[in-house]
Structure 1
Amino acid sequence: MSTRPEPLFPLFAGLETLAGVGPKTAQHFAGLGVLAPRDLLFTLPQSGIDRRLIDTIEGAPFPATLTVAVTIGKHAPPRNKTGAYRIQVSDRNTAFQLVFFHARGDYWQRQLPEGSRRIVSGRVEVFDNIPQMVHPDFIVPEAEADSIPRFEPVYPLTHGVTQKLMYKATRGAVALIPQMGEWIDPSQLAKEAWPDFASAVASAHDPASLSDISAAAPARMRLAYDELLAHQITLALARQVERRKKGRALHPTGVLQDKVLKSLPYKPTGAQRRAISEIIADMATDQRMNRLLQGDVGAGKTLVAFMALLAAVEAGGQGVLMAPTEILARQHLQGLQPLAESAGVVLEILTGRDKGGERAAKLHALERGDIHVLVGTHAVFQETVVFHDLRLAVVDEQHRFGVRQRLELGRKGRHADVLVMTATPIPRSLALAQYGDMDVSVLDEKPPGRKPIQTVLISTDRYEEVTERLRAAMAEGRQCYWVCPLVEESEVSDLTAAEERFKRLRAVLGEGMVGLVHGQMPPADKDAAMAAFQRGETKLLVATTVIEVGVDVPNASIMVIERAESFGLAQLHQLRGRVGRGSAASSCLLMYQNPLTETGRQRLEVLRETEDGFVIAETDLKMRGTGDLIGTAQSGVPRFRVADLEKQAALMAVAQSDARKLLNDDPTLDSARGRAARLLLWLMRQDEAIRLISVG
């Protein structure tokens, strides 16, 4: 199965195999992400031009693209070299002009002799009260009327690729589709009345009207579903491979967990208790756990994860908690140390900073089993890190890791369970796209005692007022964040740079009071600035979005976000969650630059109305789309060519259950439908999935 099936060879050959495409043009096509004929199948028209024949242009709403039969009248050649060549023509009711530039000699006299009949199609505009069609797209004898498409598809283009070329190349690619079996569940196909794959591709490239171009057109729905299904089969295979790996049934005693629960000053929420029991039930089976713990900012994920780590220790094993940065790893250590002490558990940290003898001592203790729970950065991936008996790996802030890294981590322990935590509330359709291989626990309640955060919209014109407000808060001993959109002042952008803002605020509020962190700083400087803020030595921290994830300073109670309109809602929500962690009433100032667009204002008002991250994420998805939502490039959300996750969220859920059922009934994909599904995986370039089948 690890070689591409022969019927698909032509679709994956070079583009030069298509008529009219040479090596140079093939290079141009790469600008559209088109590398093989297969990619043209999924490069669909984005709009269309109605070229149905009409009797007359009289009364048409100009400018418009029109197709009409005309009688050729008088020619008026240009008076000078740069002038226009004009030809009078008349349709059934009215007269207009055809206009050509750069006409040579008597070319048009020969092509369009006076008195002849032609069908012309092109854009008609009015100049000096005379309708003109400049350089018609089509001029054909009446007998060849059928050579003009009635509804011409309009494709996305790139430098060096014209509509004509695109039209011809896509037709060539469609002709290469081989006979294939059906991979969609028959009842789903019947219910939706979708065409088969080849017919769907052909009709998506040959729309008869604008409605055939919408996402709801049956041919497009079918192709979107094919993409989603291939993606979900890949995730379901990854899940199956994980599950086939034997886990080890854990038998925790509950003793350590009880000690920690008794030491807490509050009772866990219902959602926390539910998540803990789901996770521990998963760990008790002999299958590998592969679970996502999704919770809003401040929903108490860390406690849930620590309970799971304690369960691993109670069963005689070890646990590891991995964070994306050293700052976060140290923060987890500080937060968990008192809990570990109350349970008598040995907690240690391992980061890239540990060197020499100290590092060697930690590694020995880990291998002997003297360290029960290890907190670390991805430094724990290294070959030299060996556990005595790793039972559970917890990964914090998932969207920094993809499916591949999750598999990597599981290899560290014999059959270690994996729990992933994310503080980014993700709408269900995206959660399925990104984590379809995992089971999910959701924390949807806030722990008691979290104070609501007052959110205010304020224009950047009131900058002085805001700095005065900060000065007053700092005088009372409170701490504040100031988040800037970009780092260096760039020509193209008027977003204020962090360095500039830092200098201005330091001048106003006092030298030693203001700290700075941004992504381009050396890690040691960044850590030092964060640590000074955590210790309360600096009162105001000017930062880029590096503070979005996880930094915990309970004394910080004001968050200023400059140019808030340039951030995603989910990101603003994450940033706002950095305050409101202590006993003081907290506020978040969203500073926007006038004039704010209507949608810009609506988006920011959503934040003022609610602190529910899931509501905010759904709104963000509707208003901005997937790509922006979690910065697609680094998020692990696949890019689909036809499927639209916002408009077709429901299809994703169907594709997930269909894919899981298919693999449940036919784990090796050897039935007729299973073999068709293998072709689909090849067709959709899901090489990872194909590897998983052959591994399986």
Structure 2
Amino acid sequence: MSSRPEILFPLFAELETLDGVGPKTAQTFQQMGVERPRDLLFTLPYSGIDRRRRDTIQGAEVPAVVTVEVTVGAHHPPKTRGRPYRVHVQDAKADFQLVFFHARADYLQKLLPPGQRRLVSGKLEIFDGIAQMVHPDHVVRVEEAESIPDFEPVYPLTAGITQKAIMKAAAGALKRVPDIAEWIDPGVKKREGWPDWSEAVRAAHSPTNAADLSPEAADRMRIAYDEFFAHQLTLALARAATRRKPGIPSVGTGALQKRVLGALPYKPTSAQDRAIAEITEDMGSDHRMNRLLQGDVGAGKTLVAFMSLLVAVEAGGQGVMMAPTEILARQHLDSLKPLAEDAGVVLELLTGRDKGAERRAKLAALQRGDIQILVGTHAVFQDDVTFHDLRLAIIDEQHRFGVRQRLQLGAKGQAVDVLVMTATPIPRSLALAQYGDMDVSVLDEKPAGRQPIKTALVSTGRMEEVVDHLRKAIADGRQCYWVCPLVEESEAVDLTAAEARFKHLRAALGEGTVGLVHGQMPPAEKDAAMARFVAGETSVLVATTVIEVGVDVPNASIMVIERAEYFGLAQLHQLRGRVGRGTAASTCLLMFQSPLSQGAERRLTTLRDSEDGFRIAEEDLAMRGAGDVIGTAQSGLPRFRVADLERQAGLMAMAQKDARNLLGSDPKLSTERGQAARVLLWLMEQDKAIRLLSVG
């Protein structure tokens, strides 16, 4: 079924086929993302106006919208230009004025003939002690009262589209709603008390009170669920397609792992043990692994990653671990090297810097299988890099690598297992939306011996106290990060630039003790400054957020974040995680400029009160919304029209389960419910899923 089902044709016709929509209106609708009648169905009213009839305006809490039957009195045309036209009217108990600007007298005489009764509805206000309604929304004959709804839906608009126009267009689209076979699991539908799709759509467009507009209303829940379900079906199909590709079972002997665990000074946490077991089982099966390893800052992902690489080596193959930047790749090398020595395996680094003979030698060793584990940047993608027998690819910091690169990497080996690591705790609903095609392992415990980090809020007025505190700490041999929000002084924004702060601290603490790293430096200079700090030659590193991800200096135990109110929660949590990696007690100082906005205060206090990255991520999501939390531009997050990722996380989890169950029992979607699900995929424009189905 690779073409759209006929039952949906009317919903995918041109907008101009709807009554009252001409070419110009159609173009304006496009700015709202409305291109076809189908899009109107999913553009739901966001509020409503109560237009129930009252006997009189008396007792109305003005300003308010009132609907009342009146007797039309005298007309008062303006004496001078630019003044309004007034019409006196009287209801059962009170009189008031209808006010019109730029109005034509003959039109108003026809609309409101003196002595006759009319039903008027509009916003009533008091002006100079006189009750008046400026430009009523509705003026109709008493016998046409039906044309004013008791509760009028209000739609989101764009410039050039009126409420009247969108209501008319939506009504036209609703006339085309077909009765479609049900795709939701009957048990789920019954348990939730949801209506049929066509009924839900019609009801969502004709709310009868404010409760009908809530995301919890049954009609809206049902439509939101359909969006999530279509999205999760697409991910489940992608997952099934990955799993259908035969993998090479990599069964470890456990010998190398045993040597590493024996040499460790601590015992892995139970979360680490669980993740290692899940990965080992996936690698041993005959389908490809596609797993996400999600761990909070400092939860010990490196050990889990290394154990997984050892499974590949024990099975006679090779593993590769990739990082988004050279700094991080070198750091992985430094943290994995001692483990590799314990295990007695050959570990090498490949980055864009390897040139000439040295590079050729590494590539030859890789091809012979002499290098068992390779650490690198995306340089490992280049065509001349070939492995002897690549079994496992680990990708660090997922959002820098797209799905396309994941696939490219898969092509390097025959059916490579893929493990993606992210240090950003992702709220469950987002993890399901973004990585729903993957299986997920979560590290939610801190390894033994990790020191808690004390977090404090300090206003920028106390800058000199902070510098004094640093002076003492440096004398005790401790190291500190000082993070600044911007690189160059910009007049418009009162932000202390990294350059200026660097000079200030150097003057206060002495030459040679302070280093500087920012995004506009040449990479070699940046690496050199980092290396001096890692080696302990400098005690303070002034930096922009280039240090956010993965930098590991166990001796650094103080983190100062200047103008912390400018950073997002997740970013602050990542930055704080750069300290507390050694044995010393660590502190994080959040410096802010008062007064703080309500949102900024909530962010900083959340961070002060919690070290749990997952709790912080949920809070972040609640405050900022899904698109911002992972940056919509590069997130690959689906755009839902009705569903709300923040508030309806439970629905997303339900949809994932339902989608996986359906495909489990009907992988080709050929049963009656499967066929209905295909119609849903077309309705929700899940082209990728449809392609996967036609290929599969």
Alignment TM-score, normalising by the size of structure 2: 0.95
Structure-to-structure mapping, 1:257-268, within 5 angstroms: 257-268=257-268
Task: Measure, in 1, the Cα distance between the counterparts of 2:14 and 2:3.
Answer: 17
1:508: Cα distance to partner?
4.2
**Pairwise CA RMSD:** 2.1
- For the pair 1:641 / 2:674, whether they are aligned, the reply is no
**2:123 and 2:133 in contact (8 A); partners too:** yes
CA distance 1:167–1:538, change in 2 (3 Å): farther
1:161: Cα distance to partner?
2.1
- For the pair 1:168 / 2:147, whether they are aligned, the reply is no
Structure-to-structure mapping, 1:546-625, within 5 angstroms: 546-598=546-598, 600-625=600-625
Q: Which amino acid aligns with 1:51?
A: R
1:494: Cα distance to partner?
4.2
Aligned to 2:156: 156
**2:77 and 2:105 in contact (8 A); partners too:** no
Secondary structure in 1 matching 2:228: helix
**1:399 and 1:636 in contact (8 A); partners too:** no
Secondary structure in 1 matching 2:188: helix
Question: 247-256 or 201-210: which moved more?
Answer: 247-256
4+ long deviations beyond 6 Å: none
Q: Which amino acid aligns with 1:310?
A: L
CA distance 1:197–1:68, change in 2 (3 Å): same
CA distance 1:38–1:524, change in 2 (3 Å): farther
Secondary structure in 2 matching 1:589: strand
- For the pair 1:321 / 2:321, whether they are aligned, the reply is yes
1:468: Cα distance to partner?
2.8
Aligned to 1:457: 457
Task: Measure, in 2, the Cα distance between the counterparts of 1:279 and 1:685.
Answer: 34
Task: Measure, in 2, the Cα distance between the counterparts of 1:177 and 1:514.
Answer: 68
Q: Which amino acid aligns with 2:290?
A: N
Q: Which amino acid aligns with 2:214?
A: S
Question: 431-440 or 100-109: which moved more?
Answer: 100-109
Secondary structure in 1 matching 2:262: helix
Extract unaligned runs of 5+ from structure 1: none
1:655: Cα distance to partner?
0.7
1:241: Cα distance to partner?
0.8
Task: Measure, in 1, the Cα distance between the counterparts of 2:408 and 2:214.
Answer: 41
Aligned to 2:83: 83
Q: Give deviations 1:520-541, integer Å, cap 9, x for gaps.
A: 4444443333333323333332
CA distance 1:350–1:16, change in 2 (3 Å): farther
Aligned to 1:124: 124
1:205: Cα distance to partner?
1.2
CA distance 1:688–1:554, change in 2 (3 Å): same
1:184: Cα distance to partner?
0.4
Q: Give deviations 1:195-241, integer Å, cap 9, x for gaps.
A: 11121111111111111100010110001100111111111111111
Task: Measure, in 2, the Cα distance between the counterparts of 1:38 and 1:383.
Answer: 45
Q: Give deviations 1:115-164, integer Å, cap 9, x for gaps.
A: 12111111111111111111111111112111122211111122222222
**2:56 and 2:94 in contact (8 A); partners too:** yes
1:260: Cα distance to partner?
1.7
- For the pair 1:679 / 2:675, whether they are aligned, the reply is no
Task: Measure, in 2, the Cα distance between the counterparts of 1:504 and 1:591.
Answer: 16
Secondary structure in 2 matching 1:32: coil
1:13: Cα distance to partner?
3.5
Aligned to 1:197: 197
Secondary structure in 1 matching 2:121: strand
Q: Which amino acid aligns with 2:342?
A: S
Task: Measure, in 1, the Cα distance between the counterparts of 2:28 and 2:41.
Answer: 17
CA distance 1:528–1:688, change in 2 (3 Å): farther
Structure-to-structure mapping, 1:6-405, within 5 angstroms: 6-405=6-405
CA distance 1:592–1:537, change in 2 (3 Å): same
Question: 156-165 or 85-94: which moved more?
Answer: 156-165
**2:298 and 2:446 in contact (8 A); partners too:** yes
Task: Measure, in 2, the Cα distance between the counterparts of 1:499 and 1:176.
Answer: 63
Question: 370-379 or 602-611: which moved more?
Answer: 602-611
CA distance 1:401–1:203, change in 2 (3 Å): farther
Task: Measure, in 1, the Cα distance between the counterparts of 2:462 and 2:393.
Answer: 48
Secondary structure in 1 matching 2:587: strand
CA distance 1:14–1:382, change in 2 (3 Å): farther
Task: Measure, in 2, the Cα distance between the counterparts of 1:164 and 1:498.
Answer: 54
Question: 459-468 or 322-331: which moved more?
Answer: 459-468
Task: Measure, in 2, the Cα distance between the counterparts of 1:42 and 1:505.
Answer: 56
Question: 124-133 or 565-574: which moved more?
Answer: 565-574
Question: 526-535 or 484-493: which moved more?
Answer: 484-493
1:182: Cα distance to partner?
1.0
Task: Measure, in 1, the Cα distance between the counterparts of 2:462 and 2:586.
Answer: 20
**1:400 and 1:635 in contact (8 A); partners too:** no
**1:99 and 1:134 in contact (8 A); partners too:** yes
Aligned to 2:448: 448
Task: Measure, in 1, the Cα distance between the counterparts of 2:226 and 2:200.
Answer: 11
**Percentage of identical aligned residues:** 71
Q: Which amino acid aligns with 1:435?
A: Y
Secondary structure in 2 matching 1:414: coil
CA distance 1:77–1:516, change in 2 (3 Å): farther
Q: Give deviations 1:564-584, integer Å, cap 9, x for gaps.
A: 233332222111100011222
1:493: Cα distance to partner?
4.4
Aligned to 1:482: 482
Q: Give deviations 1:13-36, integer Å, cap 9, x for gaps.
A: 433333333333333323322233
**1:568 and 1:628 in contact (8 A); partners too:** no
- For the pair 1:425 / 2:425, whether they are aligned, the reply is yes
Secondary structure in 2 matching 1:282: helix
Aligned residues: 696
Q: Which amino acid aligns with 1:35?
A: E
1:606: Cα distance to partner?
2.5
Task: Measure, in 2, the Cα distance between the counterparts of 1:122 and 1:515.
Answer: 66
**1:12 and 1:36 in contact (8 A); partners too:** yes
Question: 296-305 or 556-565: which moved more?
Answer: 556-565
CA distance 1:563–1:11, change in 2 (3 Å): farther
Task: Measure, in 2, the Cα distance between the counterparts of 1:231 and 1:489.
Answer: 45
CA distance 1:349–1:174, change in 2 (3 Å): farther
Alignment TM-score, normalising by the size of structure 1: 0.95
**2:111 and 2:139 in contact (8 A); partners too:** no
**1:483 and 1:562 in contact (8 A); partners too:** yes
Task: Measure, in 2, the Cα distance between the counterparts of 1:566 and 1:271.
Answer: 34
Aligned to 1:663: 663
Task: Measure, in 1, the Cα distance between the counterparts of 2:489 and 2:34.
Answer: 36
Task: Measure, in 2, the Cα distance between the counterparts of 1:154 and 1:689.
Answer: 34
Task: Measure, in 2, the Cα distance between the counterparts of 1:520 and 1:360.
Answer: 31
